[in-house]
Amino acid sequence: MMSRRHFIKKMLYSLGLLTLGTAASIPLVRRWNVEAEPEKPESNNVEIAEPGIQDEASLPKPPLLTLFLLSDLHISVGESSMTDKLHLALKDLSEWETQLDTIILGGDLTDFGRESDYKLLQSILDQYQLPPLYANMGNHDYYDIWLNGKGAFSTETMPNGKTDAMSRERFMKFIGYSDQPYTDVWLNGVHLIMVSQESYAEEKPEVGEGAWYSDEQLAWLRETMKAHEDGKPAFVFIHQPLPEPGSDGRTHQLIRANAFREILAPYRNVFVLSGHTHRNFVGENHYNQQNTFHWFNNASVGRTRSILPGQTNSAAQGLFIQVFPHEVVLRGREFSNRTWIDSAQWAIPVT
């Protein structure tokens, strides 16, 4: 884990000056190197040299892309605390001093995936001036199958007249995807790939709370990654975490993990970003280096775990990402008090 002193030193070297109060990339400016004013000569005919301009190639470059990853919102019409925490995050982001290019919603947007949950989420988002949004699905976005006609949790009567397909349709309608719950987009020359859980307990009871990716989605991912043979960074967003290297996943993990890893293995500068675990950025390592790619596990906006067991938790956390030509900077953010989290700061070279 990079120390705070090492991180700050590296940031100052690569970025020029980074303000700790707010996330800011440094705009491209001209710096004038003005010599001390000489004594005025007696004659007015002496020519004074113009101040020089620093070579622009040596100045700090602005990021190619700046984004926030907000995971595990868990918005529900029956739980106001999740709404309150999302407001904390969105107020912080909407008052950001520099441009945010996009926000990624990293699965479990809702607690049950009901139409009413998505309507509530949309009404919250509509209160803020936000950049374009993209998202993938989490297991909770399929949870409507557990609710009976009275809205009560009922495992005995699951799927309660509902289907996984209904859940996918509601998600796609909300986020604006037309054919499938996964997509990719290029923004400012940076590739963002949203991989999505496609089935849940109604269609595949054996996957439990794990993320199942179909042959079709994995073939799509394989084809999509071919654009990165030249080493351009790729950012792949998943929800459930990966199991140990060499194994496929079980419940609460990415099921077809071996195939997923095999697809990404030929490429350098790949960043995989997951959620689901609700792990707190404070005191825990969220950067996994056991794979051919860089894997970061995000905290949660709605349900970040408390540091101490049984402690009342007001934490609402997310991941700030800046993509520069020669490095990627990632920083954990605590939205409840608008501070950076010292133990969640990384600068990864683009090789």
pTM of the model: 0.83
From the list 112, 110, 107, the residue with the least C-alpha distance to 144 is 112
Choose between 8 and 78: higher pLDDT: 78
Q: Which long-range contacts (CB under 8 A, 24 or more apart) does 173-179 make?
A: 173/118, 174/109, 174/118, 174/121, 174/122, 175/105, 175/133, 175/134, 175/135
Tell whether the model's pLDDT for residue 2 goes beyond 90.
no
- Res 27: pLDDT: 32
From CA 295, how far away is CA 289, in angstroms rounded? 7
From CA 315, how far away is CA 328, in angstroms rounded? 25
Domains in the chain, CATH or no CATH each: 65-308 (3.60.21.10)
What number is the average pLDDT over the span 134-162? 96
Asked if 307 and 280 count as a contact pair (C-beta separation under 8 A), the reply is yes
248-298: pLDDT as tens digits: 999 999 999 999 999 999 999 999 999 999 999 998 999 999 999 999 999
Tell whether the model's pLDDT for residue 308 goes beyond 90.
no
Tell whether the model's pLDDT for residue 18 goes beyond 50.
no
Choose between 176 and 4: higher pLDDT: 176
**Would you state the structure tokens that stand for residue 324, as one six-digit string?**
């520069």
For 285, other C-beta atoms within 10 Å of its C-beta total 12
Among residues of the chain, what percentage have pLDDT more than 90?
79
- Res 36: pLDDT: 34
Tell whether the model's pLDDT for residue 4 goes beyond 80.
no
Helix, strand or coil for residue 105? Answer: strand
- Which letter, b or e, does each residue of 236-271 get, where b requires 16 or more Cβ atoms within 10 Å of its Cβ? bbbbbbbbeeeebbeeebbbbbeebbebbeebebbb
**Would you state the structure tokens that stand for residue 330, as one six-digit string?**
């990632």
- Res 313: pLDDT: 80
- Res 249: pLDDT: 97
Choose between 179 and 27: higher pLDDT: 179
From CA 321, how far away is CA 324, in angstroms rounded? 10
What number is the average pLDDT over the span 294-307? 95
For 193, other C-beta atoms within 10 Å of its C-beta total 23
User: Over 254-310, what HEC string results?
Assistant: ECCHHHHHHHHCCCCCEEEEECCCCCCCCCCCCEECCCCCEEEECCCCCCCCCCCCC
